[in-house]
Amino acid sequence: MGLSSRLECKRAMLVDTQTQFPTHSFQAENMLAALEKVRMELGPEAIIVSTRKVASGPAWQVWKKPVVEVVAMGTGTPAPSQQSVPVETSPAIVPSPPEPLVETQPIPVEEIDTTVEQAIDIAEKAVSKELETTRSKNPYRMLGDSNSPLSSVKQRLLEQGVDGDLVESLARVCLRNFSQQALTDPLRVNEYIQQQLAVKIRSLSPQAVAASQVVSLVGPSGAGKTNTTAKLLAYYQQESKKELHWLSADTIRAGAIAQARVYSETLEIPLQLAYGPSEAADICKEAKGGLTLVDTPGFTPTRESSVIRIGDMLSALPQQITLLVVSATEKEQDVMAAISVLRPFNLKAMIVTKMDATDHFGSIFNAAWRSHLPLAFLTSGPDVIDDLRPADPREFVGTLFGIRAS
């Protein structure tokens, strides 16, 4: 039997059934509520004739709230107290409905004679499916899904110590800019977050550093200033035509002078010693036209005497810039304290040492981001030659994701 023949049979059966049992209309805010009304009034075996959305309220009301209308008929003679108001006095004719708010969706022919119990089951499954679809399309669900690429990136950055508010902000930017499919791609999510982090920090080029006549390396004890001074001189031996000078003002620490002499002899760069600010200033003036790197004593930003001593030295040096030398293992609070103290002394950038001594770089990232202080160089290991490289924000951000420069 073809579809048209089956349709005619269905319609004939419906008209015949309606002749025996009148149709009733039920309205509610949603499909499930309307079907429950049908079941309560006509019983679980009631037949669903049609369903659609219609406008509720009086005809004069401009803003009409949409409701669901279900037309159904019982399979037996219900009690008068249980009967709802018939929609039509003539049982063989389906009445004209109220003006629909949205276009009516016809019920498939195969579902015309669905019972209310079956309809409720279908409606409940449809609601569950719609809820699941809505959840899957909600991008902010990715923030709570521990298995999603974005959640994995967030967890990684938080474990690194990157500022939590910043991480959350970047995650939400990613959600706004990415499609659902893109959010499932770990490579794209990682690349995007790394790009966003990289633009949060700045760098100072080696050329900008060398444009000054005097560069003072300042930092806490144990940061590696003497070793870094040697590495910088080795770097500029290859990259600059300027005459290079090494001035060591770190004459108090035991072994400091001996260490500096070994490096200077290896590099064949004369080492000069200064035991006070005025002597250091005179040496720098004599070296006019070249590039003088000043290795200063270690200082503690929380000790007033230490701050005064380093301040006197930096104030005496002509045309100097200051580079803060900090270990990658340094705490964020200590780095920020040093930056605050050194700001008045022409602090230009930061050199991060001992990059091989830790796997966590969130503190340094936070300090560079909060202070807007550029990174100048990154260094790791004890080797003087080829162990220092200009800072690249993308490379440094890569360390937060476990990516090491080759």
**161-197 burial: b if 16+ Cβ within 10 Å, else e:** bbbeebbeebbeebbeebeeeebeeeebbbebbbebb
d(CA 293, CA 290) in angstroms, rounded, equals 10
Are the C-beta atoms of residues 31 and 122 closer than 8 Å to each other?
A: no
- pTM comes to 0.66
d(CA 19, CA 303) in angstroms, rounded, equals 100
Q: Give me the tens of pLDDT residue by residue for the chain, a chain 406 residues long.
A: 555 565 556 555 555 555 556 788 888 888 878 888 888 888 888 888 888 888 776 655 555 678 888 888 876 644 344 444 444 433 443 444 443 333 334 444 344 457 777 777 777 677 667 656 654 555 555 555 667 899 999 999 999 999 999 999 999 999 988 988 899 999 999 999 999 999 999 999 999 999 999 999 999 988 999 999 999 999 999 998 899 999 999 888 878 889 899 999 999 999 999 999 999 999 998 887 789 999 999 899 999 999 999 999 999 998 899 999 999 999 999 999 999 999 999 999 999 999 999 999 999 999 999 999 999 999 988 787 778 999 999 999 999 999 987 6
Residue 118 CB partners (closer than 8 Å, separation 6+)? none
Domain with CATH 3.40.50.300 in the chain: 206-400
Asked if CATH classification 3.40.50.300 holds for the domain at 206-400, the reply, yes or no, is: yes
**291-300 burial: b if 16+ Cβ within 10 Å, else e:** bbbbbbbbbb
